[in-house]
Structures are given as structure tokens and as C-alpha cells.
Amino acid sequence: MSKKPSMGRQKIKIEKILVKNHLQVTFSKRRSGLFKKASELCTLCGVEIGIIVFSPAGKVFSFGHPNVESIIDRYLTTRSPVPAPHNPFHLLEAQRNAAVRELNLQLGHILNEVENERKRGESLDAMRKANQSHYWWESPIGKLGLEELEQVKDAMEDLKKNVNREAAKLVNASANAVYAAGRGGVFEQYETKPSHGGVGSSINNIAAAAAAVNGNFGYCHGFF
């Protein structure tokens, strides 16, 4: 059986491909080949190349040596003299740019630390203010508001009642102990009189008066 004669390598007519699938395949192959040839040219001749390609679907592809950004910048600033690669000023400029980038990174880290410390300080201030508002009774009487003064007054009255009640218990207990021992005699009754101090008197003085009867009863700590 004779072989079918080969048509050999044929020349492809250069015209737009109408089949969409064939168009995409051809674009991918030709784009890869174009970038490969550009890379070889850079290696062989030491040139700088920038290529930007938009696909039929609108996607952008680029190739650049040393990079696309530097090529575009040089193209847009063609009026300014371009330093040669072996020019020492070109190396100095590259080193300066690298140093500037490093300093910018350090500055960014420092700014982040400053922001974190600022937030931490605000949080500590909020906690301190919350603690001060929680123990408002430790503030001087002159700095308290009307509502707080009313609460202080009620607390002082409750404390006075507790002190009188405990003092009466102690007096009765002492009298019972004397009579139980059979010692006889006259027991002097103590009369507890309310204090005539105003609201402006110190809360600590009232607590001291309670402790003077027979030690600290612990009632003061319920409020203060």
C-alpha cells in the first residue's frame, strides 16, 4: 500500500483567525514565543526590553528586563539623559533608592508601634477613669455631686444605727455578765447620743467612732 504523499511544510496565510478556540490557542503560543525571544535578546545583547500584550479577552500580559516599571519610566522620561549601566552615578542612585526603601519600611514599623502604644495608653486611661468612678466615695466631699451626697448621707445614717445597735449589745452583755457573777452593785447605763456633725464631716471620722466602741465591726467596709 503506497503512502499518502506529504504536503510538506506549508506557509500559513497571515490573517485574523475567526475560530475563537483557535484564536486563543494561537495567542498563547505566539505570546510565549515572543517573550522567549525577548529574553534571549536581553541575554545575548544586554538590552533592556519592555513588552505589553493585551489578549483578545482583554487580559494584559507583560515582559520586562530588568522590569516593566523601569522601562516605562525611562520611556516616559526620554528627554532626561539616561545613565549608562557602567556609570558610577547609576549605581549610587540605585543604592540610594534601596536605602530609602529600607528607611520607609523602618518608618512604617515605628509608626505602627506608636499607634499601638497610643491605643494602649487610651485603654489604660479608660480603666483608670472607670476605677475612679467606681470608688467615688473616696473623693473629697466638696467634689461630690448632689446624688452622691445623698448616698453618703444615707450611708452615714446606716452606719450610725449600726454603731448604736452594737454599742447597746455590748452594754447589755456587760450588764448581764455582772449580774450573773453575783457581784451586785449599781451598773451605770450609758446613753448613746446621735452625733450632730454635718454632711461635710469626714466619713473616716465616723468609721473611727465605730471602731472606738469595741474594735472594727466591719460595717464600714460594706460601703467604703
Q: How much is the pLDDT for 191?
A: 46
Q: How much is the pLDDT for 132?
A: 62
Contacts for 47-55 with beta carbons within 8 Å, 24 or more apart? Answer: 48/74, 50/75, 55/24, 55/27, 55/31
In a structure prediction context, what are the per-residue pLDDT tens digits for the chain, which is 224 residues long?
Answer: 556 666 667 777 788 888 888 888 888 899 999 999 998 888 888 888 999 999 888 888 988 888 888 888 888 876 555 555 555 666 677 777 778 878 888 888 888 888 889 888 888 888 777 766 656 666 677 777 788 788 888 888 988 999 999 988 888 887 777 677 665 444 444 444 444 444 444 445 544 444 444 444 444 444 44
- At the topology level, CATH places domain 20-76 in SRF-like (3.40.1810)
pTM of the model: 0.31
Q: How much is the pLDDT for 79?
A: 54
Q: How much is the pLDDT for 66?
A: 85
Q: How much is the pLDDT for 135?
A: 60
Q: How much is the pLDDT for 183?
A: 53
Q: How much is the pLDDT for 7?
A: 64
C-alpha cell at 128: 483608670
Q: How much is the pLDDT for 197?
A: 47
What is the C-alpha R_g of the chain? Answer: 48
Closest CA to 74 of 86, 63, 61, 65: 65
